[in-house]
């Protein structure tokens, strides 16, 4: 007599749930990045996708346990559902770890925020009051978020800032060419599609400059450390770029004297 071996229904459901969880996560992120859904809708979609992914993992584990005992078919389906569920949960675990690592803030700046106003987009002017750190908390969490002062003129420093912003692929929304002050506002889109705004302000003279920076999340409850780490990373890169510029161009900080010297060198000698 032939014994029929059944395919476990639990394994079948594990694969179904895992197969649904992956596109749910990807589609939610893509819709949010391309602004086809609002942030509120994205949060609901993300929670729903996370629940489906978690259920796929639970059902996958249950299916494997039953298959071990019953000898039914479905190992491949159970493992596929478990794998898809775990892949879908990976972003949630990553951002959960960031939430534990960084404080719940949405706005970080090196100086008075009133000097670096945000350029609000439609619908973001009514966003909730930003969560900020005190000076002591900021120094403890992000020690390199500090005003930079360089022995380099305002204009060349602002040029270096613009080059780095372009290199980072940030979308410049407002640009004030350096006179007494140079400033730009740029938008940054994070991987899940959150919009964050960067403001960089450069002040100084022909021989020195001061750079301040602000980074804020729009319509968010937690920035997962992105604003603080963004400022630290950008200013560290700016330090290196200014140091390299001064090393390779010793006269960059004295444009007037350098130009006068070049004119003297090129003038023909008097007979």
pLDDT in tens, 2-52: 544 577 899 999 999 999 999 999 999 999 999 999 988 999 999 999 999
Say yes or no to pLDDT of 207 above 80.
yes
Average the pLDDT over each of 69-78, 124-133, 159-168 and give the range with the smallest value: 124-133
* 238 touches 148 (CB < 8 A): yes
Residue 196, token pair as written in the block: 């964050």
DSSP 253: G
Name the nearest CA neighbour of 130 among 101, 109, 106.
106
Tokens 């899940």 locate to: 192
Find the range with the poorest average confidence among 172-186, 196-210, 240-254.
240-254
Provide the terminal-to-terminal Cα distance of the chain, rounded to the nearest Å. 121
Residue-level pLDDT at 253: 73
pLDDT at residue 149 is higher than 50: yes
Answer yes or no: are the C-beta atoms of 192 and 78 closer than 8 Å. Answer: no
Task: Count the neighbouring beta carbons within 10 Å of the beta carbon of residue 115.
Answer: 14
Q: Name the CA radius of gyration of the chain, rounded.
A: 27
Residues 42 and 108 sit within 8 Å (Cβ to Cβ): no
Cα–Cα separations (whole angstroms), residue 69 to 10, 110, 152: 13, 61, 73
> What is the C-alpha separation between 85 and 87, in angstroms, rounded?
5
3-state percent helix, strand, coil for the chain, nearest multiple of 5: 55, 15, 30
- pLDDT digit string, tens, across residues 39-97: 889 999 999 999 999 999 999 999 999 998 887 889 999 999 999 999 999 999 999 99
Using CA atoms, how far apart are residues 29 and 35, in angstroms rounded to an integer?
10
Mean pLDDT of 181-197: 93
What integer best gives the mean pLDDT of the chain? 88
The reported pLDDT for the residue numbered 131 is: 73
Among the ranges given (45-59, 102-116, 146-160, 254-268), the one the predictor scored with the smallest mean pLDDT: 254-268
- Kindly tell me if the per-residue pLDDT of 202 is higher than 80: yes
Residue 129's pLDDT band, with cuts at 50, 70 and 90, is low
Determine the pLDDT at residue 259: 44
Whether 7 and 74 have beta carbons less than 8 Å apart is answered as yes
**Banded model confidence at residue 158, pLDDT cuts 50, 70, 90:** very high
Give the model's confidence band at 264: pLDDT under 50 very low, under 70 low, under 90 confident, else very high. very low
In the predicted model, is pLDDT for residue 170 greater than 50? yes
Extract the tokens encoding 62.
């249950």
Q: pLDDT tens digit string along 61-70?
A: 999 999 988 8
Task: Classify 119 in phi/psi space as left (phi over 0), alpha (psi -120 to 50) or beta.
Answer: beta
Q: Mind listing the pLDDT tens digit for each residue in 208-230?
A: 999 999 999 887 889 999 999 99
């Amino acid at each position: 007599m032939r014994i029929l071996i059944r395919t476990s229904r639990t394994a079948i459901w594990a694969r179904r749930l895992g197969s649904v969880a992956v596109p749910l996560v990807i589609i939610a992120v893509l819709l949010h990045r391309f602004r086809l859904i609002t942030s509120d809708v994205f949060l609901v979609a993300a929670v729903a996708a996370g629940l489906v992914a978690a259920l796929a993992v639970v059902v996958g584990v249950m299916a494997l346990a039953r298959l071990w005992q019953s000898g039914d078919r479905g190992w491949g389906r159970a493992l596929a559902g478990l794998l898809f569920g775990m892949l879908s949960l990976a972003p949630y675990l990553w951002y959960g770890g960031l939430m534990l690592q960084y404080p719940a803030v949405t706005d970080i700046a090196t100086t008075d925020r009133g000097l670096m106003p945000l350029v609000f987009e439609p619908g973001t002017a009514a966003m909730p009051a930003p969560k900020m750190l005190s000076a002591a908390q900021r120094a403890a969490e992000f020690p390199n978020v500090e005003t930079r002062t360089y022995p380099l003129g305002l204009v060349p420093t602002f040029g270096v800032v613009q080059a780095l912003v372009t290199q980072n692929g940030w979308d410049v929304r407002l640009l004030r060419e350096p006179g007494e002050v140079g400033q730009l506002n740029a938008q940054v889109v994070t991987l899940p599609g959150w919009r964050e705004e960067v403001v960089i302000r450069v002040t100084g003279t022909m021989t020195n400059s001061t750079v301040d920076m602000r980074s804020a999340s729009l319509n968010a409850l937690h920035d997962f450390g992105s604003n603080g780490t963004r400022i630290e990373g950008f200013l560290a890169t700016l330090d290196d770029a200014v140091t390299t510029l001064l090393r390779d161009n010793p006269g960059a900080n004295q444009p007037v004297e350098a130009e006068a010297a070049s004119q003297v060198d090129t003038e023909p000698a008097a007979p």
